[in-house]
Amino acid sequence: MGLDSVELVMEMEKYFSIQIPDPEAEKITTIQKMVDCVAKHLSVSNNSIELRDAIVDKIQTILIKINLTDKPLNPTAPVFLTLPPKNKSIWQSFINELALIVPKPETMGKSGGTFINNIKTKLSWNPLYDWTEITVEQFASAICARNCATLIDRSAIKNTYEIYVAVTSITVDKIGVDYYEITPEKSFTNDLGVD
């Protein structure tokens, strides 16, 4: 493990008040493996996703209230078909109603093919996800992770989903990736750039 991965494990240990032995830490290669490791050390086996479901329900209620939909959301459908992040007034209305911090997805377009656009594309950061494919569930998880400090009592972790949310929050904070880049199968080294 490189210095960055050691620091990341130390942040997890500090947050969850646990100790992860080095041989065990060396086997943590993905977000899910980190969640599993922390769950083992905390003796948490409940796999409830009640927090995510509560946020999905709240998203649904708000989208109906601000007249963006009148039918139930499919949790695995792209959320931004209904809630367009490029529409500033709709986006702000949604945030005001939700009363939580909502990470806005990076919506950079593809290069227009001109020389200047090609230079801009090469010099700028591009997200490792397509914002048009972010599901309602992923959106809810990003909101949970961004608001981890207010939504989760870290001294009384109830389930593995709360661990996942905290691991996501710590990972974003420590290595600077986007909330929408984090999914359980993502590798710390290959996908998220940790040494």
Q: Please give the chain's pLDDT, 195 residues, in tens.
A: 444 889 999 999 999 999 999 999 999 999 999 999 999 999 999 999 999 999 999 999 999 999 999 988 999 999 998 999 889 999 999 999 999 999 988 875 544 445 554 454 445 556 668 889 999 999 999 999 999 999 999 999 999 999 999 999 999 999 889 999 999 999 999 998 888
Q: Is the dihedral of CA 10, 13, 18, 24 positive or negative?
A: negative
The rounded distance, in Å, linking the Cα atoms of 104 and 102 is: 6
Structure tokens at 85: 């992040």
Does a structural domain hold residue 57?
A: yes
Residue 160 located in a structural domain:
no
Residue 97 belongs to what domain range?
50-139
The three-state secondary structure class of 78 is strand
177 within a domain of the structure (yes/no): no
Q: Any residues with CB less than 8 A from the CB of 161 and at least 6 apart, and which?
A: 47, 48, 49, 50, 51, 52
Distance CA 33, CA 184 (A): 8
9 is a domain residue: no
Looking at the domain assignment, is residue 194 inside a domain?
A: no
Question: Could you tell me what percentage of the chain is helix, strand and coil, using 3-state DSSP and rounding each to the nearest 5?
Answer: 55, 0, 45
The answer to whether residue 66 is domain-embedded is yes
- Residue 119 in any domain: the answer is yes
Number of domains in the chain: 1
- Please, are residues 9 and 33 in contact by the beta-carbon 8 Å criterion? no
Instruction: Tell me whether residue 61 is in a domain.
Output: yes
Task: Please count the CA atoms within 13 angstroms of the CA of 170 that sit on its side-chain side.
Answer: 24
- The partner residues of 135 in beta bridges, in order of sequence, read 78
